[in-house]
Amino acid sequence: MTKILILGAAGSLARVTTDYLLENSDFELTLYLRRASRLKNIALERIQIIDGDVMDAETLQKAMHGQDVVYANLSGNMKAQAENIIAAMYVTGVKRLIFISSMGIYGEVPGEKYSSILNPYRDSAAVVEASDIDYTVLRPGWFTYDNEVNYQITHKGEPFRGHDVSRKSIADLIMKIAMTPDLYVGESLGIAAFNSVNR
């Protein structure tokens, strides 16, 4: 049974993804977050919850032992967090990482100039891409709560197509990547809905 460590499990995308994985897969999930008490009404079947900070190397490594996939959904000092995650993966031997970034980090969105607000996403993605782990960077558009799975993918070096994307769509792509170990390894993927603007 595939085991997934979800870093930043209190985030809105991570919560939707947790529910989606529980409903559509048999994965065992470890939810890793600061102040685990924020997670309420969580069914504990197939779930373990760890109260920890990604910057706490010892706690992170303990949580990572025995996992098959690390899914990171972070904010704040993302470059330092990415460095800590990769270091922990080297120590524990976990190879598969799904890392959430943002559209626009390569200046790839037509009609939109690069903004410094993207620096944490760009810098952390660069850390991940420079590693030799089996990573996939996801660059979603603006999140929506639309109850749909509807998305298109663009690859690094291609213009980003679309703009908005449902959290459920991102969760579906995360699930597919986790189910197929060699799917999109070493790639940075844009993801947006088919029917959103800039198509």
Give the pLDDT score at 199: 40
What pLDDT is recorded for position 128? 98
Which helix (DSSP H) or strand (DSSP E) does residue 126 occupy?
Answer: helix 119-129
Give dist(CA 74, CA 135) in Å, integer. Answer: 16
Burial class (CB in 10 A: 0-12, 13-18, 19+), 70: buried
What global pTM score does this model have? 0.94
d(CA 148, CA 35): 30
pLDDT in tens, 37-51: 666 656 667 888 899
Kindly state the greatest CA–CA separation across the chain.
46
Report d(CA 90, CA 94) in Å as an integer: 7
pLDDT for 198 equals 46
Per-residue pLDDT of the chain (199 residues; tens, 9 = 90+): 899 999 999 899 999 999 999 999 999 999 999 876 666 656 667 888 899 999 999 999 999 999 999 999 999 999 999 999 999 999 999 999 999 999 999 999 998 888 899 999 999 999 999 999 999 999 999 999 999 999 999 999 999 999 899 999 999 999 999 999 899 999 999 999 986 554 4
d(CA 175, CA 24): 8
What's the confidence (pLDDT) of residue 85? 98
Cα–Cα distance for residue pair 70/23, rounded to 1 Å: 19
Q: What is the pLDDT of residue 25?
A: 94
